[in-house]
Amino acid sequence: MKENRVIILVGATAVGKTQISLELARKMNAEIVSADSRQVYRYMDIGTAKPAAEERGQVPHHFIDIRNPDEYYSAGEYGRAARRRVAEIFEREKQPLVVGGSGFYIQALVDGLFAPQISVPEIKEKWHRRVEKEGKDKIFALLEKIDPKSAQRLHPNDVQRVVRALEVHELTNVPLSAFQPGREEAADFDTVFFGLTRKRDRLYQRIEARVDAMIEAGLFLEVRSLMEKGYDERYNALQTVGYREVFPCLRGEISRQDSIAAIKTNSRRYAKRQMVWFRRDKRIHWLDADMLSSAELIKAVLKSL
């Protein structure tokens, strides 16, 4: 394998990245650099599907549990810190293996972060319809809640830019203000990208099964514990699928059944947005996780290096 080459494994939520990454890391003497924008936060274990403590004990993991939920952590900060960590892993003569579904984190690490060019006409049109139906002021108030920095520099009458900020947030789950206006220099290491994919209906089945497992594991208790610590959906970290749907239930505003249904629906939508993001990156070698066993997936990755 080429020296100073970083392996990057991507894919939608619930596609099976964790299992493959652990097996691959053990075979390659690798350390895992997490590229998940929510696993960086403490106390958010079940809803973010963090690798178990036992798994992290078997393979070193980086960028998990490094911030509290009320602390802001930008993709730019991650990109710079992750580059330093990759260099340290190389110095230990280990293999860096970047694993995650947060496309903007991976972009910040590899390419440098800049205002995203991605756009989905259906999402943009949806926000324009909401402006027409609900009014500019109400939609601007929503932007103030999810991206206050962008709201500070925009006027409610600047509908195009307000809608663009909301579109970017929906696509990336990160405020537009977190992105830099100009491109930073690319990383000084080589990369090889692999992506796990599944048929949509199979992926959706796995998402629903994962949500059911999270509920069984105590997701509602985890969210209640966060509330008791003073954390709620006011904080960007908790504007996350699996958390933001539970707070209203715990306040008695919606039923438990409706909360769970919303988590499943929003998880499917999130997976779709992830694939929209990753499909545009032609560097990714896609592997069909429906057709290949874990051993075959590992073999395919190793053969391509």
User: Of 178, 198, 218, which residue constitutes the final position of a domain?
Assistant: 178
User: Of 158, 178, 198, which residue constitutes the final position of a domain?
Assistant: 178
* Per-residue model confidence (pLDDT) at position 134: 94
* Per-residue model confidence (pLDDT) at position 100: 97
User: Do both 146 and 256 map to the same domain?
Assistant: no
**Per-residue tens of pLDDT for the chain, all 305 residues:** 567 899 999 999 999 999 999 999 999 999 999 999 999 999 999 999 999 999 999 999 999 999 999 998 888 889 989 999 999 999 999 999 999 999 989 988 998 866 566 677 778 888 999 999 999 999 999 999 988 999 998 989 989 999 999 988 887 777 888 776 555 677 889 999 999 999 999 999 999 999 999 999 999 999 999 999 999 988 889 989 999 999 999 999 999 999 999 999 999 999 999 998 899 899 999 999 999 999 999 999 999 88
Residue 15's beta-bridge partner residues? none
Tokens 């609900």 belong to which residue?
Answer: 134
User: Do both 135 and 230 map to the same domain?
Assistant: no
User: Of 156, 178, 200, which residue constitutes the final position of a domain?
Assistant: 178
| Other CB atoms within 10 Å distance of the CB of residue 78 | 26
User: Do both 83 and 143 map to the same domain?
Assistant: no
Tokens 């290491």 belong to which residue?
Answer: 189
User: Do both 139 and 166 map to the same domain?
Assistant: yes
User: Do both 84 and 217 map to the same domain?
Assistant: yes
User: Do both 92 and 151 map to the same domain?
Assistant: no
* Per-residue model confidence (pLDDT) at position 46: 98
* Per-residue model confidence (pLDDT) at position 184: 61
User: Do both 57 and 91 map to the same domain?
Assistant: yes
Radius of gyration of the chain from its Cα atoms, rounded to whole angstroms:
19
Write the CATH number for 99.
3.40.50.300
Please give the residue range of the domain that contains residue 14. Answer: 5-114+181-304
